[in-house]
Amino acid sequence: MAIQSKVSLPVIKRLPKYYRYLTTLSADGKEKISSSELAHMMGTTASQVRQDFNCFGGFGQQGIGYKVDVLRAEIGKLLFSDGEKLPTILIGAGRLGSAVSSFISRDTNGYKLIGVFDINPELCGKEMGGATIYPLSELEAFCAEHHPTVAVLCVPRQSAMELSGELVAHGIQGFWNFSHYDLSVEYPGVTVENVHLGDSLMSLGYRLRNKD
C-alpha cells in the first residue's frame, strides 16, 4: 500500500472517525460499503472519501466498494501500527486524570499506560488505570528506565508549561494535552494534540442558539 509522504492533518483526523464507523458496521454484520454510503455517515462527499483513501494507496475498487472488515483492518494498521502500543505516562492523578487513565486502559487505542505521576503524596503507591502512581520527583528516573514515548497532561496550565521542556528532555515525543493551554513545544519531532473540552461545549451552545 503506497502512502503519500505528507498526508494532511485533516485527513489524519478523519481516520479515527472512519475506524469508529467501520467498527460499528462490522459489529452489525455489514460486509460491503460504497464510498457514497460511507460519505453519508461521515457527513462529507464520496469524492472526499476516495481522496482520503487515495492518500494511502486506496482500499477498494471504484464501482465495487469496500469490504468493511478489510477497510477497518487497513485503517487500524495506520492508527495502531500492527498492534504495537505506545508506552505512555500520565501527569496529574486528579479526577480528570482518573477518567483519562480509565479510557486509555480499557480502549484499544494503541497506547499502554505504564506510569502515573502526581505531587500528592497520599496518592503515590496507589494504582490508576492499571498503572502505579509515582511522586513527580521520580519522573526523570522512571523515564530513563522505561523510555515512555507519550505524555498525557492532566495538570493546570502553568504546570504544563513548566513540565513540557523537561518531558521532551526525558525522551517524550508526543503530548496529549488537557491543560487548557495550547501547548506548542518548539522541538523537532515532537507532536502535540491539545484537547479543550470546553471548546466542544461552546460550539454546541452556538449551534443550538443559531439553528436558523
Grouping H, G, I as helix, E, B as strand and the rest as coil, residue 73 is helix
What residues have CB less than 8 Å from 198, skipping those under 6 apart?
Answer: 180
pLDDT of amino acid 209: 92
Q: For residue 82, is pLDDT > 80?
A: no
Apex 65 CA angle, 10 and 71, nearest 5: 55
Instruction: Please indicate, yes or no, whether the overall pTM of this predicted structure exceeds 0.85.
Output: no
Measure CA of the first residue to CA of the last residue in the chain; give whole Å. 45
pLDDT of amino acid 80: 82
Which of 148, 98, 89, 140 lies closest to 123 in space, CA to CA?
98
Separation of alpha carbons 181 and 184, rounded Å: 9
Separation of alpha carbons 133 and 91, rounded Å: 9
pLDDT of amino acid 105: 87
Query: In a 10 Å sphere around its CB, with 0-12 CB exposed, 13-18 middle and 19+ buried, how is residue 13 labelled?
Result: exposed
Q: Which domains are delineated in the chain? A: 9-80 (1.10.10.10), 86-199 (3.40.50.720)
